[in-house]
Amino acid sequence: AEGGLRGLRGGAFLSNNVVSTLLVNLYLQISKPAIPARFFTNESDALRWIAKMRLEQYKDEIELVP
């Protein structure tokens, strides 16, 4: 269902629950998401990763402009 991913450049999962950590990591390994996705136990790390994804998106868009 890539149609539902339009405009998304990445997904960050955040939890400090051990069971959630195991399940999400298993999901990410098996499903091979269409967009970059990572699991975090620290909110600051998740936000930093999202900011990096946005920066990379804007760099790619700038390179496309003649």
pLDDT of residue 56: 83
Question: Taking a C-beta distance cutoff of 8 angstroms, is the pair 33, 13 a contact?
Answer: no
- pTM, two decimals, is 0.69
Question: Taking a C-beta distance cutoff of 8 angstroms, is the pair 28, 55 a contact?
Answer: no
**Each residue of 10-66: pLDDT tens digit?**
889 899 898 988 898 898 889 988 888 999 999 999 999 999 988 887 776 676 666
Query: Beta strand 37-40 with 11-14: parallel, antiparallel or unpaired?
Result: parallel
pLDDT of residue 2: 54
Residue 15 identity: S
pLDDT of residue 65: 63
